[in-house]
Amino acid sequence: ETGVTQTPRHLVMGMTNKKSLKCEQHLGHNAMYWYKQSAKKPLELMFVYNFKEQTENNSVPSRFSPECPNSSHLFLHLHTLQPEDSALYLCASSHAGTGENQPQHFGDGTRLSIL
């Protein structure tokens, strides 16, 4: 149990569907992150939120739309996805701040398959 919960664990959707991924953390953190993990590739940082404000959008296509209503919850809204978007989507959280190192705590991810 990492303290970061992602739902659903698995998602299969067609290219015309709209779905959302959910992430919730119970660690009292105020920074949250979305990553994409594809086989044999580095974890790709997608979005960063600090104190509910988006501080990073790593050139992510607009078919991915994040939402952070509060410091404990993070969503990734999906629409009109492409087959190459099939991957494991990981959420992470950490304390914000640039002093001491702040390790990120990851959820187990959502395995997304686009038909």
Partner 1 sequence: GQSLEQPSEVTAVEGAIVQINCTYQTSGFYGLSWYQQHDGGAPTFLSYNGLDGLEETGRFSSFLSRSDSYGYLLLQELQMKDSASYFCAVRDLSGGYNKLIFGAGTRLAVHP
For partner 1, the binding residues (CB under 8 A) are: 2, 4, 31, 33, 35, 40-43, 45, 48, 50, 55-56, 90, 92, 94, 96-98, 101-109
Nearer to partner 1, 66 or 109 (CB): 109
| 3-state SS class at 83 | helix
- CB neighbours of residue 34 within 10 Å: 25
Residue 50: CB minimum distance to partner 1, A: 5
Closer residue to partner 1, CB minimum distance, 70 or 80: 70
Helix (H, G, I), strand (E, B) or coil at 50: strand
CB of 80 to partner 1, least distance (A): 27
